[in-house]
Structure 1
Protein backbone atom coordinates (compact mmCIF):
# COMPACT_ATOMS: atom_id res chain seq x y z
CA UNK A 1 0.00 0.00 0.00
CA UNK A 2 2.73 2.48 0.82
CA UNK A 3 4.27 1.79 -2.59
CA UNK A 4 0.87 2.50 -4.19
CA UNK A 5 0.64 5.76 -2.24
CA UNK A 6 4.17 6.82 -3.20
CA UNK A 7 3.76 5.97 -6.88
CA UNK A 8 0.31 7.57 -7.10
CA UNK A 9 1.50 10.69 -5.25
CA UNK A 10 4.45 11.01 -7.61
CA UNK A 11 2.23 10.55 -10.68
CA UNK A 12 -0.29 13.10 -9.41
CA UNK A 13 2.54 15.56 -8.69
CA UNK A 14 4.09 15.04 -12.12
CA UNK A 15 0.75 15.47 -13.88
CA UNK A 16 -0.14 18.57 -11.90
CA UNK A 17 3.05 20.29 -13.07
CA UNK A 18 2.37 19.25 -16.67
CA UNK A 19 -1.30 20.29 -16.49
CA UNK A 20 -0.38 23.56 -14.78
CA UNK A 21 2.05 24.42 -17.57
CA UNK A 22 -0.47 23.28 -20.17
CA UNK A 23 -3.11 25.54 -18.63
CA UNK A 24 -0.82 28.53 -18.23
CA UNK A 25 0.61 28.42 -21.73
CA UNK A 26 -1.60 26.57 -24.18
CA UNK A 27 -5.06 26.97 -22.70
CA UNK A 28 -4.70 30.61 -21.69
CA UNK A 29 -5.79 31.77 -25.13
CA UNK A 30 -8.49 29.13 -25.57
CA UNK A 31 -10.33 29.32 -22.22
CA UNK A 32 -12.40 32.03 -20.62
CA UNK A 33 -11.12 33.49 -17.34
CA UNK A 34 -13.67 31.42 -15.37
CA UNK A 35 -12.71 28.24 -17.20
CA UNK A 36 -9.01 28.91 -16.62
CA UNK A 37 -9.68 29.52 -12.93
CA UNK A 38 -11.57 26.22 -12.66
CA UNK A 39 -8.75 24.39 -14.43
CA UNK A 40 -6.22 25.95 -12.04
CA UNK A 41 -8.34 24.86 -9.07
CA UNK A 42 -8.10 21.27 -10.30
CA UNK A 43 -4.33 21.60 -10.67
CA UNK A 44 -3.91 23.10 -7.18
CA UNK A 45 -6.00 20.45 -5.46
CA UNK A 46 -4.17 17.74 -7.37
CA UNK A 47 -0.76 19.06 -6.26
CA UNK A 48 -1.82 19.61 -2.64
CA UNK A 49 -3.10 16.08 -2.40
CA UNK A 50 -0.14 14.60 -4.29
CA UNK A 51 2.06 15.97 -1.51
CA UNK A 52 -0.29 14.67 1.19
CA UNK A 53 -0.37 11.21 -0.40
CA UNK A 54 3.44 11.13 -0.59
CA UNK A 55 3.83 12.17 3.04
CA UNK A 56 1.27 9.59 4.15
CA UNK A 57 2.97 6.91 2.06
CA UNK A 58 6.19 7.55 3.97
CA UNK A 59 4.63 8.01 7.42
CA UNK A 60 1.56 5.82 7.90
CA UNK A 61 1.60 2.26 9.14
CA UNK A 62 -0.18 0.78 6.16
CA UNK A 63 -1.10 -2.44 7.99
CA UNK A 64 -3.77 -0.48 9.89
CA UNK A 65 -7.05 -0.58 7.95
CA UNK A 66 -7.97 3.05 8.67
CA UNK A 67 -4.65 4.19 7.18
CA UNK A 68 -5.40 2.29 3.99
CA UNK A 69 -8.82 3.96 3.86
CA UNK A 70 -7.20 7.37 4.28
CA UNK A 71 -4.86 6.81 1.36
CA UNK A 72 -7.59 5.32 -0.84
CA UNK A 73 -9.91 8.23 -0.04
CA UNK A 74 -7.24 10.76 -1.04
CA UNK A 75 -6.35 8.89 -4.25
CA UNK A 76 -9.96 8.41 -5.36
CA UNK A 77 -10.96 11.91 -4.28
CA UNK A 78 -8.08 13.59 -6.09
CA UNK A 79 -8.76 11.64 -9.27
CA UNK A 80 -12.50 12.28 -9.27
CA UNK A 81 -12.25 15.92 -8.23
CA UNK A 82 -9.40 17.20 -10.38
CA UNK A 83 -9.86 15.07 -13.47
CA UNK A 84 -13.60 15.76 -13.65
CA UNK A 85 -12.80 19.49 -13.56
CA UNK A 86 -10.31 19.04 -16.40
CA UNK A 87 -12.89 17.14 -18.42
CA UNK A 88 -15.62 19.70 -17.76
CA UNK A 89 -13.42 22.67 -18.66
CA UNK A 90 -11.89 21.16 -21.79
CA UNK A 91 -15.18 19.79 -23.09
CA UNK A 92 -16.90 23.11 -22.40
CA UNK A 93 -14.15 24.98 -24.25
CA UNK A 94 -14.84 22.73 -27.27
CA UNK A 95 -18.62 23.33 -27.01
CA UNK A 96 -19.19 19.65 -26.18
CA UNK A 97 -19.70 19.86 -22.42
CA UNK A 98 -19.66 16.45 -20.77
CA UNK A 99 -22.49 17.11 -18.33
CA UNK A 100 -22.20 13.70 -16.66
CA UNK A 101 -18.93 14.91 -15.10
CA UNK A 102 -20.73 17.64 -13.13
CA UNK A 103 -21.85 15.38 -10.25
CA UNK A 104 -18.47 13.62 -10.15
CA UNK A 105 -16.60 16.73 -8.95
CA UNK A 106 -18.47 17.02 -5.61
CA UNK A 107 -18.22 13.25 -5.16
CA UNK A 108 -14.44 13.63 -5.45
CA UNK A 109 -14.60 16.45 -2.95
CA UNK A 110 -16.54 14.20 -0.60
CA UNK A 111 -13.80 11.57 -0.80
CA UNK A 112 -11.20 14.26 -0.02
CA UNK A 113 -13.21 15.38 3.01
CA UNK A 114 -13.50 11.74 4.09
CA UNK A 115 -9.72 11.33 3.80
CA UNK A 116 -9.09 14.43 5.92
CA UNK A 117 -11.70 13.34 8.46
CA UNK A 118 -10.20 9.87 8.80
CA UNK A 119 -6.74 11.40 9.13
CA UNK A 120 -8.04 13.66 11.91
CA UNK A 121 -9.57 10.70 13.75
CA UNK A 122 -6.28 8.82 13.43
CA UNK A 123 -4.28 11.76 14.79
CA UNK A 124 -6.66 12.28 17.71
CA UNK A 125 -6.29 8.60 18.65
CA UNK A 126 -2.47 8.64 18.70
Structure 2
Protein backbone atom coordinates (compact mmCIF):
# COMPACT_ATOMS: atom_id res chain seq x y z
CA UNK A 1 0.00 0.00 0.00
CA UNK A 2 2.74 2.49 0.97
CA UNK A 3 4.76 1.55 -2.12
CA UNK A 4 1.76 2.30 -4.31
CA UNK A 5 1.44 5.78 -2.79
CA UNK A 6 5.16 6.50 -3.27
CA UNK A 7 5.13 5.28 -6.88
CA UNK A 8 1.94 7.27 -7.56
CA UNK A 9 3.50 10.41 -6.03
CA UNK A 10 6.64 10.00 -8.16
CA UNK A 11 4.54 9.57 -11.31
CA UNK A 12 2.47 12.69 -10.48
CA UNK A 13 5.63 14.74 -9.80
CA UNK A 14 7.24 13.61 -13.06
CA UNK A 15 4.07 14.36 -15.02
CA UNK A 16 3.79 17.84 -13.53
CA UNK A 17 7.49 18.51 -14.26
CA UNK A 18 7.07 17.44 -17.92
CA UNK A 19 3.92 19.59 -18.15
CA UNK A 20 5.84 22.63 -16.79
CA UNK A 21 8.63 22.06 -19.33
CA UNK A 22 6.10 21.92 -22.17
CA UNK A 23 4.49 25.18 -21.00
CA UNK A 24 7.88 26.92 -20.84
CA UNK A 25 8.78 25.67 -24.30
CA UNK A 26 5.50 26.87 -25.82
CA UNK A 27 5.72 30.32 -24.19
CA UNK A 28 9.29 30.68 -25.45
CA UNK A 29 8.24 29.75 -29.00
CA UNK A 30 5.32 32.19 -28.88
CA UNK A 31 7.48 35.05 -27.59
CA UNK A 32 10.12 34.32 -30.24
CA UNK A 33 7.46 34.32 -32.94
CA UNK A 34 6.11 37.64 -31.62
CA UNK A 35 9.58 39.19 -31.70
CA UNK A 36 10.22 38.04 -35.26
CA UNK A 37 6.89 39.11 -36.73
CA UNK A 38 6.48 42.24 -34.62
CA UNK A 39 5.99 45.30 -36.78
CA UNK A 40 6.11 48.26 -34.47
CA UNK A 41 6.06 50.91 -37.20
CA UNK A 42 3.51 51.33 -39.95
CA UNK A 43 2.80 53.47 -43.01
CA UNK A 44 1.52 56.40 -40.92
CA UNK A 45 4.85 56.58 -39.10
CA UNK A 46 6.70 56.65 -42.41
CA UNK A 47 4.40 59.41 -43.69
CA UNK A 48 5.13 61.37 -40.51
CA UNK A 49 8.88 61.03 -41.15
CA UNK A 50 8.38 62.24 -44.73
CA UNK A 51 6.44 65.29 -43.54
CA UNK A 52 9.08 66.11 -40.90
CA UNK A 53 11.82 65.88 -43.55
CA UNK A 54 9.79 68.18 -45.82
CA UNK A 55 9.33 70.65 -42.94
CA UNK A 56 13.05 70.66 -42.27
CA UNK A 57 13.97 71.23 -45.93
CA UNK A 58 11.33 73.94 -46.42
CA UNK A 59 12.39 75.71 -43.22
CA UNK A 60 15.89 76.24 -44.64
CA UNK A 61 14.60 78.79 -47.21
CA UNK A 62 16.46 77.25 -50.10
CA UNK A 63 15.47 76.86 -53.72
CA UNK A 64 14.14 73.31 -53.97
CA UNK A 65 16.29 71.36 -56.43
CA UNK A 66 18.67 68.41 -56.29
CA UNK A 67 21.84 70.49 -56.05
CA UNK A 68 20.55 72.67 -53.20
CA UNK A 69 19.27 69.59 -51.36
CA UNK A 70 22.66 67.89 -51.69
CA UNK A 71 24.40 71.07 -50.54
CA UNK A 72 22.07 71.38 -47.53
CA UNK A 73 22.67 67.85 -46.27
CA UNK A 74 26.38 67.78 -47.02
CA UNK A 75 26.93 71.02 -45.09
CA UNK A 76 24.93 69.79 -42.06
CA UNK A 77 25.63 66.06 -41.70
CA UNK A 78 24.19 65.99 -38.16
CA UNK A 79 20.81 67.21 -39.51
CA UNK A 80 20.79 64.39 -42.05
CA UNK A 81 18.64 62.11 -39.85
CA UNK A 82 15.06 62.59 -38.58
CA UNK A 83 13.35 60.10 -36.26
CA UNK A 84 14.40 58.01 -33.29
CA UNK A 85 17.16 55.43 -32.96
CA UNK A 86 14.97 52.55 -34.11
CA UNK A 87 13.09 54.11 -37.03
CA UNK A 88 14.37 57.10 -38.95
CA UNK A 89 14.77 58.71 -42.35
CA UNK A 90 18.00 60.13 -43.69
CA UNK A 91 19.38 61.50 -46.92
CA UNK A 92 22.11 59.30 -48.38
CA UNK A 93 24.67 61.61 -49.99
CA UNK A 94 26.34 58.85 -51.99
CA UNK A 95 23.25 57.46 -53.73
CA UNK A 96 21.23 60.71 -53.73
CA UNK A 97 18.23 58.91 -52.21
CA UNK A 98 16.25 59.04 -49.02
CA UNK A 99 16.45 55.94 -46.83
CA UNK A 100 14.00 54.84 -44.14
CA UNK A 101 15.89 52.57 -41.78
CA UNK A 102 14.25 50.30 -39.21
CA UNK A 103 16.34 48.80 -36.44
CA UNK A 104 15.30 46.03 -34.10
CA UNK A 105 17.24 45.46 -30.90
CA UNK A 106 20.15 47.56 -32.17
CA UNK A 107 20.52 45.45 -35.31
CA UNK A 108 19.67 46.84 -38.70
CA UNK A 109 16.95 44.74 -40.27
CA UNK A 110 15.34 46.79 -43.03
CA UNK A 111 16.18 49.74 -45.25
CA UNK A 112 13.57 51.18 -47.61
CA UNK A 113 15.13 53.27 -50.37
CA UNK A 114 13.07 56.13 -51.82
CA UNK A 115 13.88 58.16 -54.88
CA UNK A 116 12.44 61.64 -54.95
CA UNK A 117 11.11 64.35 -57.16
CA UNK A 118 9.86 67.87 -56.54
CA UNK A 119 6.13 68.57 -56.83
CA UNK A 120 4.55 71.92 -55.88
CA UNK A 121 7.62 73.02 -53.94
CA UNK A 122 7.75 69.86 -51.81
CA UNK A 123 9.66 66.62 -51.98
CA UNK A 124 7.65 63.73 -53.41
CA UNK A 125 9.03 60.40 -52.14
CA UNK A 126 8.73 57.36 -54.42
CA UNK A 127 9.41 53.87 -53.11
CA UNK A 128 12.24 52.17 -54.97
CA UNK A 129 13.25 48.96 -53.16
CA UNK A 130 14.07 47.44 -49.76
CA UNK A 131 17.21 45.85 -48.36
CA UNK A 132 17.15 43.35 -45.51
CA UNK A 133 20.02 42.32 -43.26
Fold shared, TM-score > 0.5 on shorter chain? no
Q: Which has the larger radius of gyration?
A: 2
| Structure with the higher fraction of residues in helix conformation | 1
TM-score, normalization by structure 2: 0.25
Taking structure 1 as the reference length, the TM-score comes to: 0.26
